[in-house]
Structure 1
Amino acid sequence: MTESLKPAAIYTHGHHESVLRSHSWRTAVNSAAYLLPYLKPNMRILDIGCGPGTITIDFARLVPEGHVVGLEYAPDVLPQARATAAEQGVTNIEFQTGDICNLVDIKDGTFDVVHCHQVLQHISDPVKALSEMRRVAKAGGIVAARESDVFTWFPDLEGMQEWHELYHEVARKNGGQPQAGRRLVSWAREAGFNRSQITATASTWCYSSPEERTWWTGMWADRTVRSSFASSAIGHKLATQEKLERIAQVWRTWSEQDDAWFTLLHGEIVCRV
């Protein structure tokens, strides 16, 4: 592996089926609504950390006269992204591998929009990443990012807070910053943007109906014991398999509460280059 492609951090979740189940649910509407008013039909967009490509494909539909590149560090997920685009007849799109902190194959000022969603929280140098995003954006273009921050829920069953603390511990041990949303403006300023160039907003995901709770908690129960989160927790000696199994059961029990409600607050930035 060359120096430029060494990972800046370990992706805490990995790409287990339980993780891709969540990523494939994401759309431009539920995950990038703050950016949509800025898009124009002829734009060139770079979507970094594209995963299975659902947001990326939506962007391509919104710029029919333009072109979209989905960039992903983990190549194994890209065949799924390419297949989904082909199945949906979206052709103004391509998927490539690359590192957000080292966009070495992209010239300065190439894209109208450079976007990432829940990527900066997983890397050790988000300022460098935003600097690279700024470099490859055109003058007058946009750098946009959305990162999760606060998780809150009701009822607070015994074990839910334990999961939350463990998630933060694992993410930080892996080199990330799980409370990234609140830091986006600060990181963008360090990356060279003036405060006047930055528009900051926030939005949420919320899971409350029986169907939403079943999907969300089933995904997290599986992720807790089967994904890279589990192997990281055990590898860092922060949890045993038995502890993870117990936490997974807490998720299942929580989902059965009729008054259960879970929300994630996200910070968002749109930076003018």
Structure 2
Amino acid sequence: MASNGHEQQNYHIGYKEDTLKAFELRNATTCLGYLLPTLESLPPTFTLLDVGCGPGSITFDLARRFPKAKIIGLDLGKEVVERNNANIPTYAPGTGIEFRAGNVLEPESFLSPEERSGYFDVVHEHATLICIPNNIQVLRTMKELARQDGGIVACREGDTHSQILWPPCPESAELQERIYEMNGLDTQTGRKLLAKALEVGFRRDQITASASVLSNITAPERELYAGSMITMLADETSQYRRAASKFGYTEEQVEVLRNNMRRMIAADDGWRLCICTEVICRLGP
């Protein structure tokens, strides 16, 4: 993800390997169905900035689909960026992809002067705004980095407040809400996405809005999602575990949270569903 130094400290999910593996379930097919037709309509050499790219699964997939495009994946985590760059020969050889570490609110930290002045045909983010307090400035910066005569700002945001886990895990939902609130984050970011696009100056006729569902349904998907949660709850240094301690959770209550995730993994009828909202914002007349 990309944010300022204070926000990096509050990135409650973290970059541990099993968490990155869970994020790697995300790709262009599962997450960018709303945007792919637009990308396919662009000249093949388009430029795209992927803000908060994490392990780069979406970014790599885009590079494979559009090998002539110049695609830059941005993340605040230097280790995950180094990991991604090392994986380019394996996951996207012969493409125009690269990864950079930097703060999206400080474009000079990762872009050349030429790239800072309306350079990108597309500036994209997926589930990044929800991880950043006061994220309206991030959306403003994305708009400034897009080409002003026809550039595109594209966002897909989870509305975590809408999340459904089955079998029911009310204790887990309560802790999640408390952690988001503690970090100045908003679990209802998704439903406010269109309002934020209007706030940064896009007209309603410049915005195409849609919605879809982020899901973990199959056994491998449940294993990756719930397994990463179990790992965070077992790790005394993770923000999830430290937050539980700060809120006064006993070891027995933490074990309830872990058992919720184990039950979800084991349940043939288990799944996780989360509403996602999407906007494609076009600059210019």
Aligned pair partner of 1:145 in 151, 155, 179? 155
Aligned to 2:214: 205
Separation of aligned partners in 1, 2:218 and 2:67: 35
Counting only pairs closer than 5 Å after superposition, residues 55-66 of structure 1 correspond to structure 2 as: 55-66=58-69
Query: What secondary structure sits across from 2:25 in the alignment?
Result: coil
Residues 193-251 of structure 1: CA deviation (Å, up to 9, x unaligned): 11111111111123334343333322322233337342441464363554333201121
The worse-fitting range, judged by mean Cα deviation, of 177-186 and 7-16 is 7-16
Q: How far off its partner does 1:111 sit? A: 0.2
Aligned CA distance change for structure 1 residues 257 and 6 (closer, same or farther; 3 Å): closer
Aligned to 2:89: 86
Name stretches of at least 5 consecutive residues in structure 2 with no aligned partner: none
Percent identity between matched residues is 34
1:114 and 1:142 in contact (8 A); partners too: yes
Aligned to 1:172: 181
Aligned to 2:262: 252
2:175 and 2:244 in contact (8 A); partners too: no
Aligned pair partner of 1:237 in 243, 247, 251? 247
Separation of aligned partners in 2, 1:144 and 1:241: 42
Separation of aligned partners in 2, 1:53 and 1:259: 30
The letter of the residue matching 2:33 is A
Name stretches of at least 5 consecutive residues in structure 1 with no aligned partner: none
Aligned to 1:113: 122
Separation of aligned partners in 1, 2:136 and 2:185: 12
1:111 and 1:138 in contact (8 A); partners too: yes
Query: What secondary structure sits across from 2:195 in the alignment?
Result: helix
Aligned CA distance change for structure 1 residues 238 and 130 (closer, same or farther; 3 Å): farther
Q: How far off its partner does 1:90 sit? A: 4.2
**How many correspondences in the alignment?**
267
The alignment yields a C-alpha RMSD, in angstroms, of 2.1
Q: How far off its partner does 1:108 sit? A: 2.0
The letter of the residue matching 1:63 is F
Q: How far off its partner does 1:187 sit? A: 0.9
The letter of the residue matching 1:73 is L
Separation of aligned partners in 2, 1:230 and 1:162: 13
Aligned to 1:264: 274
Aligned to 2:45: 42
Q: How far off its partner does 1:271 sit? A: 0.7
Query: What secondary structure sits across from 1:19 in the alignment?
Result: helix
Aligned to 1:181: 190
Aligned pair partner of 1:101 in 90, 105, 118? 105
Aligned CA distance change for structure 1 residues 61 and 8 (closer, same or farther; 3 Å): same
Q: How far off its partner does 1:255 sit? A: 2.7
Residues 87-122 of structure 1: CA deviation (Å, up to 9, x unaligned): 131441111112223323441211000011111001
